[in-house]
Amino acid sequence: MERLSRVTRREKSSKETLDDIFDDLLKDIYWTEKHLAVKVLPKLAKASFSEDLRNVFERHLEETKVQINRIEECFDFVDGKASSRKCEVMKGLAKGCFEVIEKHGVGPVRDILLIAAVQKIEHYEISAYGTLQTMATVLRKTECARLLEETKDEEAAADIKLTDLSARINHLAVELIEEKFW
Ligand SMILES: [Fe+2]
């Protein structure tokens, strides 16, 4: 463990508590999930060539709505008010998805690129929920930590599903390219 004496004066005098930081991070992920549910996932489902991929996006949209409810429950353990703060990281990652749709026509190659873009979002979310879960545990918000862990596990499961699907669609893309040349 780092020696506490090394903590800078600036850090010691900061009025920002861990509760404040936890609250801010919760606002970020609240914005992230709402942005996903309203602007990103419906568009991705519509843009998918593979029916399996469309199903994964649609199922994840339903999961995301539940995840939003869990975050709202978590706000009850902070100050009871659910509010969001625009998350620039999520905005940039979502832009990556939209660029794929703009630049590529419907087909397996676009599906592969969509999965790649969405997996970046999943990894961001897994990391954000991991941080929040750790903080909730330290701050003794046990029920909150449990809710955050539940969502983190769902994100990890969605990421695995996307990896499996990407492998299958990659094979399909190779077959189509080979067909074109023979
Ligand atoms: Fe999520």
pLDDT at position 145, please?
97
For ligand 1, the distance from its centroid to the CA atom of residue 105, given in whole angstroms, is 27
pTM of the model: 0.89
For ligand 1, the distance from its centroid to the CA atom of residue 155, given in whole angstroms, is 6
Identity of the amino acid at 147: L
pLDDT at position 177, please?
77
For ligand 1, the distance from its centroid to the CA atom of residue 93, given in whole angstroms, is 13
Q: Which residues, in sequence order, are CB contacts of 121 under 8 Å at separation 6+?
A: 36, 40, 90, 93, 94, 97
Quote the Cα angle for 146-155-167, to 5°. Answer: 150
pLDDT at position 8, please?
67
For ligand 1, the distance from its centroid to the CA atom of residue 68, given in whole angstroms, is 8
SS3 20: helix
- Spell out the per-residue pLDDT of the chain, length 182, in tens: 566 666 766 666 566 789 999 999 999 999 999 999 999 999 999 999 999 999 999 999 999 999 999 999 999 888 778 999 999 999 999 999 999 999 999 999 999 999 999 999 999 999 999 999 999 999 999 999 999 999 999 999 999 999 999 999 999 888 887 776 65
Q: Which tokens sit at 177?
A: 């390219």
pLDDT at position 181, please?
60
Give whole-number Cα distances, 2 to 5, 7, 8, 11, 17, in Å: 9, 9, 12, 15, 19
For ligand 1, the distance from its centroid to the CA atom of residue 62, given in whole angstroms, is 10
